[in-house]
Structure 1
């Protein structure tokens, strides 16, 4: 338990992750001799490698591996030394003997996982508890830091802030195109900070892979795990390299979400498990976008999460039938443009205490969003162009303004300018063309009223 206790002692701030301490002995890995022996032998099945290279693959210091390596070389005769590329046993080049190749095939038939040595489940649970204790709370300024790329009003922030601090599930609802998805992403940025995630977890000899480069952003330098001349692999260092340093995850799913994605995925050929999507989001944000449009019914999905939302623990089953309890330290955000009352009954909605409406922007907010998107594309902003849009394409058609419209229309204007071989610029004619392409009623030729003539000189921006 010394390693578990040390995890919490390295917490520096609410935004800095507790650092897992490197094992100095075999016992501190939490794994058995047989587990490490099997990983070492399987890692050699593809060809010979030095002790340092194998230490890098298993993410264990060579000083921890050395007693096991010596035993399988001298006693079991599974591995032989083919030469050396440096001083000491860590520089030896190892290869499998014929007996070793037969044994490796047996190991691979039972479990094809080859990679960083897994972390015991108890150690992972303790790390998640330490991370939760070190998190702290956010205030308005820290929350706003996650939305510097957006125009979000204070009243919305003041609803989001308490929800994030409470760590409870959130319902974002409202018309489409008003930024519910990017607001959820912004909450992940506001939580900020980092964390350490094990590449894999061991549960009674069963391996569960957890790190996913698609959903996890590594903060480790490319050579941080060591190389052929890396002393950090040869000798114990403060950090356990079986854990990868990542940003707090923001994991998103949409209409593709199914119930089996929320369970452990056992590969019958490789003989190990992959973590479900919500476990990959642990410590961060899990966004269920377009809620209500999945291939499963909302009620099925909500029933699956009743217990985790209440207890903050999830229960998963291995292919052996063993059920395990895992921390459910996830900020779940449901985003939908449907009426929440039509998606779930009162009993479930009670378990989602924060329901926040994301409404259409006002003209003032729309103008700010338009200006922000102009700056992003280095375009000159003229407020008269927004007034023209409102007068020509919104008011007459009784069309609601959406937060995504400025970005999308400016993208169309920019694309049209490039097609015409000219520098991007916003004019009335280009906005008309963009609206004709973008809005369905404009594309069908809906009549728009002519511009009013007056004695004032017409302003045109080029």
Structure 2
């Protein structure tokens, strides 16, 4: 079960999403809240007000309003109090019928959703572009990575732009590796809604595999707590969603599970206020042309259009840093018209010898291997130069790991030798 946060340290979160203290404040209709409470009672059997506060993410005062309404309709019954004198509640026979009918309409069972209008406002206010990336921020956040200076001067402005970014170049040049570390640059946290209400339907957005909560996530000990931000929003690190060859057209739309009768958010909605990386562009189960056609408006206008199974259409922000990464020729993937829509095209290539050397000896240290300058020069001159192999950033890691495996197997000294280089090279390269 998701625990409610009692961490009041985030003043900005409190201002963005103040805790609702009345049904009207939630932005959700009373009948919907009543149905959701009855579904929780149907699932839980007998629950206290305290338990419902945590299951629904609203104050005890709001729960009491709903109880009063339910009692007036003879849908809820009082049960024996707990040892600490908390009143317990369960459904009446009429309440069970009501809950079953509500479940047939929608299988959603979670925190009270936030209204679409509130989500759209807060999502735009949390844009990463409101705090521009600087060169110092980039260098500090990526100091563990060895990158050419010219790349940093291209990547930084690209992250501050409103345009999608295409990163391309040969395999192994660090495109995906860099993209997976870009989230560290943003550094701050954002509010992610557990779910969003679209009319009377609910789309679950929060995904614990993607959204990593920050702060203290423990149960509240005050039923009528009004401090802190709205618990329907979970404070998380900015999301980084990565998808590759598994991407399908269906993953870009709201998905409906007919068995559970619930809606799940598309990948771009889950990645809002963060980074969405489409890795290995050109190898997805959706064509590049189809993908770009789907996202022409979102990429240019930063707003997306989705629809529910009922046919209801709605608009929401497309507020994310969109990255494409490929080792294919961009000119063979899409035509010039599409390429122009990609504001930044950044090429990753082989390194110069100085940077390659830095990576080589960095990996040697990680693998606890000793390598002399003579052995490194032997690798460069007698293998890379002689065999015309470019200095690709992934080679040191891959070659030295093979050597470490050989050393472990043969019980050798942790020392890079000509024999080990020859063996690793013959295994690694076809």
Distance 1:137 1:63, change over 3 A: same
Partner of 1:458: none
1:422 to partner: Cα distance: 5.9
Greater shift, 233-242 or 200-209, is seen at 233-242
The answer to whether structure 1 residue 129 and structure 2 residue 124 are counterparts is yes
Is the 1:60–1:117 contact (alpha carbons within 8 Å) kept by the matching residues of 2? yes
Is the 1:143–1:191 contact (alpha carbons within 8 Å) kept by the matching residues of 2? no
Is the 1:17–1:195 contact (alpha carbons within 8 Å) kept by the matching residues of 2? no
Partner of 2:399: 409
1:311 to partner: Cα distance: 0.9
Partner of 1:361: 351
Partner of 1:41: 38
1:49 to partner: Cα distance: 2.0
> For residues 383 and 114 of structure 1, what CA distance do their matches in structure 2 show?
63
> For residues 84 and 370 of structure 1, what CA distance do their matches in structure 2 show?
68
1:57 to partner: Cα distance: 1.1
Is the 2:116–2:197 contact (alpha carbons within 8 Å) kept by the matching residues of 1? yes
Distance 1:375 1:17, change over 3 A: farther
> For residues 41 and 272 of structure 1, what CA distance do their matches in structure 2 show?
17
> For residues 314 and 128 of structure 2, what CA distance do their matches in structure 1 show?
22
The answer to whether structure 1 residue 351 and structure 2 residue 341 are counterparts is yes
Picking from 53, 77, 92, the partner of 2:51 is: 53
Partner of 1:252: 242
Local SS of the residue matching 2:421: helix
CA deviations over 1:100-152 (Å, ceiling 9, x no partner): 22222111111111111100000000101211287321110111233222111
> For residues 65 and 103 of structure 2, what CA distance do their matches in structure 1 show?
23
Partner of 1:20: 17
Is the 1:292–1:336 contact (alpha carbons within 8 Å) kept by the matching residues of 2? yes
Partner of 1:153: 148
Tell me the TM-score normalised to structure 2 length.
0.92
The answer to whether structure 1 residue 115 and structure 2 residue 110 are counterparts is yes
> For residues 368 and 217 of structure 2, what CA distance do their matches in structure 1 show?
34
Partner of 2:64: 66
Partner of 1:221: 216
Is the 2:302–2:317 contact (alpha carbons within 8 Å) kept by the matching residues of 1? yes
Distance 1:340 1:102, change over 3 A: same
Pairing of 1:204-353 with structure 2 (within 5 A):
204-223=199-218, 226=219, 230-231=221-222, 233-353=223-343
1:81 to partner: Cα distance: 2.3
Distance 1:423 1:237, change over 3 A: farther
Greater shift, 379-388 or 157-166, is seen at 379-388
1:421 to partner: Cα distance: 4.8
> For residues 61 and 253 of structure 2, what CA distance do their matches in structure 1 show?
37
Pairing of 1:185-196 with structure 2 (within 5 A):
185-196=180-191
Tell me the TM-score normalised to structure 1 length.
0.86
The answer to whether structure 1 residue 97 and structure 2 residue 92 are counterparts is yes
Local SS of the residue matching 1:84: coil
Picking from 198, 203, 214, the partner of 1:203 is: 198
Is the 2:14–2:230 contact (alpha carbons within 8 Å) kept by the matching residues of 1? no
> For residues 404 and 62 of structure 2, what CA distance do their matches in structure 1 show?
59
1:182 to partner: Cα distance: 1.7
CA RMSD after TM alignment: 2.1
Uncovered stretches (5+) of structure 1, i.e. residues with no partner:
1-9, 441-462
Distance 1:213 1:428, change over 3 A: farther
Partner of 1:384: 374
Is the 1:63–1:236 contact (alpha carbons within 8 Å) kept by the matching residues of 2? no
Q: Which has the higher contact order (CA 8 A, sep 6+)?
A: 2
Greater shift, 374-383 or 268-277, is seen at 374-383
Partner of 2:424: 434
1:378 to partner: Cα distance: 4.2
Distance 1:424 1:281, change over 3 A: farther
Distance 1:129 1:82, change over 3 A: same
